[in-house]
Structures are given as structure tokens and as C-alpha cells.
Amino acid sequence: MTPPLKALCILALLWAALLGSFGCRKRAGDAPPLPYLAFVANRKSATVASVDLAQFKVVAELPVAPAPEQVAIRPRGHEVYVVSASGTLSVIAFPELRLTRTLRIGGSAHDLVFSPDGRQAYVLAPGAGEIVIVDCDPLREAARLRLGPKLSDLALSPDGKTLVAADSASEKLFFVNTGARKVLGSLDVGARPGPMVILPDSSKVFFADTGEAKLTVVDLATRALLSNIETGTVPSKLVLKPDGGEIFVLSAQGATLTIVDAFHNNVEQSSLTTGPGPSAAVLRADASVLYIATAGDGNILTLDAPERQVLASTHVGISPGALALTPDERFLIVADPGSSSLSILRTDRNTLVTTIPVGDDPVQVVVPDWLRK
């Protein structure tokens, strides 16, 4: 082979190799998923399942106190807190995936929230009409504040300074200063105050009047009622846009979504049809897409949030009831009590990837960002 011909052959081989490398390069969306863990509270089997989302399999099934209803990630730590309606707080450690500590809270315990630094937790004990203040290190009860006979919902302002508790029996909101551990006062409100959201600047609290078709807006600093927002249908769940500009209001009774302008306290869009029994919703971090679980037909509705347009409706099971996005937002994790399973959706394609049995009556799921690079 003559030198010029040999050189041409070498160039051709190099070019072919280069083309091959481009052709085999995977798109970022096709890369293997990180082994994020989903933690699932199984109410009837009294367990928390840990699911590896790279291999799509259960890697641990941890017994906890009866009737676990909430799993929450402790800020600035690698712990999962489990609230059981039977009255116990349980702590699961990562990466050990074992139960390390428990604390008795009281009957019907629910609605745990953490201080921003993760040093304290606040839990409702409705059986005693109390907020229980918990020191996380070591795990111990720090104080109890008795408020009302039927506490239903709890929220903490983003600045960590004010707790707001709703009492559906007395139809009051209670305000607590977390630093002084002191009740600041109460406010008479509408019928059966329920789920709440507080704006990122800690200026206003919005709550659903679950006995009426409206939201109520309260100034957090003055504890004065600012506005009543008529929603047309009875609100059941609230999802706040990350910048605080909009609130997405689900109505399980009306099978609708209402969008509220949180800055101006008015309705932007009313009565968008969701499908029967909307039970949960979650937003992407950039607020571009809202995912809605409709328990009445077993579907996930994917909504272009800015355009108010439905992008897809994906059948996932029997009665999806809780949602979580993976930290990279590649997968939507759906807890389905009706089928005792998790459904995994690819968000870029809105397609069902797999279904994983996890335990009896999975009612909540969280996916920590501990593996994010």
C-alpha cells in the first residue's frame, strides 16, 4: 500500500470511529437514573417501604407504629420522620435504612413540619387539641401548647417564626410564636378551615374553607383577615407556586382546578376540569408543569401550568393519592392505595414505566435529594 493510500485509509478509519462515537452517545434523558430512594408510608401494613428508583425495587420494608400517614425529610440531615395516627413519631436513618428512635406524641398525630434548620419539629396532637414541639437532637418533647378541640392543619411560615394551626370545630386560626413558644392569638374564620399555604415572604396565609366554596386570606403580621376569595367549588388541596405568585386549588367535590393570583387575592382561572376526585398535585421546580392525580379514574393529568392546557392523561392504577417528583424531575412517583403500589412515570414522555408493589394502603411518598450531585 502506497503512503498516500495508507494515510487515506487511516483518516477514513478515524472518521468512522468519530461518527460512531457520536452515533452511540446517549442523550442526557436516556442516561441511567440515579439510585434515589422513595420512602412510602403504608398505612394498613404499618410499614415504610424504601424503593430504589434506579432498579425499581423495594430494598427495605421497615415496621413502624400502626397507621403511618406521613413521611417527611428532616432538613440538613439524612433522616426520615414518620408520623403515625396511632400517636407515635418514628425516625429512620439513611444510609442504614433502620429505625433509630421513637417518640410518643398523642392520639391522631399528624401534620409534622420542621423548622428551617431542622433542629425542631412541630406536630399536631388533635386528640388533646395540642401542638407538640419536638427537639430533634436528641429526640425529645420540648413543649406542648393547648389550643383547640379539633386541630386539623398546621403550617409554618418560611422564616420559621410563626406557626398557624386551623381548628375546624371552633372555626378558628391560632398563631404561635416559635421563639417564645407562645400563643399570639386567634382569629374567627369560615366553615371548617383546612389546608393552608404561606407565601415565601411570610406575609400572608391562605387557607381552604372546606365547608364553603372559598379561600380566606390572612395577614400574618397583624393576624387580620384580608379577603375571601370565592372559588365556585369547595377547595380540598392547595399547591403554591415556588415564587408565591399563584395557588393551584383542587376541588375533589367539584372535580375542578381553580388558579388564584396570590399577590392580588383574586381568581385568575376558575373551574378547569381535572377528572373525578383530584387527590394530589405537584409542580415542577420551574412551575412549567403541574401533575394532578385523579383518584376517581386512576389517571395522572399533566397540565402546562402557564398555558392552562392539558398535555397528557396517563392511566396509572386504581386510585392514585400521593405524588412526588425525583430531584432531577425525570420521574413522577405515584402512591396508589387502591392497588397497594407505586407507579413510576417518565416525565419527558408522560408514559408509565413500571408499577411496584410496596405494601398495604400506601398513602404518602417522599424522595430526598441526598444523591443529587
Residue 30: pLDDT band with limits 50, 70, 90: low
In the prediction, which pLDDT does 12 show?
40
Q: Give residue-wise pLDDT tens across range 249-284.
A: 999 999 999 999 999 999 999 989 999 999 999 999
Whether cis (ω within 30° of 0) applies to the bond prior to 138 is yes
- Domain 65-140 in the same topology as domain 35-64+274-373: no
Q: Is the pLDDT of residue 169 over 70?
A: yes
Would you list the domain boundaries of the chain?
35-64+274-373, 65-140, 147-273
In the prediction, which pLDDT does 4 show?
45
CA distances from 147 to 103, 126, 318 (A): 21, 10, 38
Q: Give residue-wise pLDDT tens across range 84-143.
A: 999 999 999 999 999 999 999 998 999 999 999 999 999 999 989 999 999 999 999 999
Distance CA(303)–CA(112), nearest Å, equals 29
Which residues lie across from 215 on neighbouring strands?
Answer: 208, 229
- Taking residues 42-67, what's their average pLDDT? 97
Q: Torsions phi, psi of 11, nearest 5?
A: -60, -40
- Taking residues 338-347, what's their average pLDDT? 96
What is the rounded average pLDDT for all residues in the chain? 91
Q: Give residue-wise pLDDT tens across range 193-223.
A: 999 999 999 999 999 999 999 999 999 999 9
Distance CA(154)–CA(195), nearest Å, equals 8
Q: Nearest-5° angle of CA 180, CA 200, CA 288?
A: 155
CA 230 to mean position of chain CA atoms: 25
Amino acid at 277: G
CATH topology of domain 147-273: Methylamine Dehydrogenase; Chain H (2.130.10)
Q: Is the pLDDT of residue 13 over 80?
A: no
Q: Which CATH architecture has domain 35-64+274-373?
A: 7 Propeller (2.130)
In the prediction, which pLDDT does 149 show?
84
Which residues lie across from 73 on neighbouring strands?
Answer: 80
For the chain, the farthest-separated pair of C-alpha atoms sits apart, in whole angstroms, at 97
In the chain, % of residues over pLDDT 90? 87
165 within 8 A of 151, measured Cβ to Cβ: yes
3-state secondary structure at position 2: coil
Q: Give residue-wise pLDDT tens across range 297-339.
A: 999 999 999 999 999 999 999 999 999 999 999 999 999 999 9
CATH topology of domain 65-140: Thrombin, subunit H (2.40.10)
326: exposed, middle or buried (Cβ count in 10 Å: 0-12, 13-18, 19+): buried
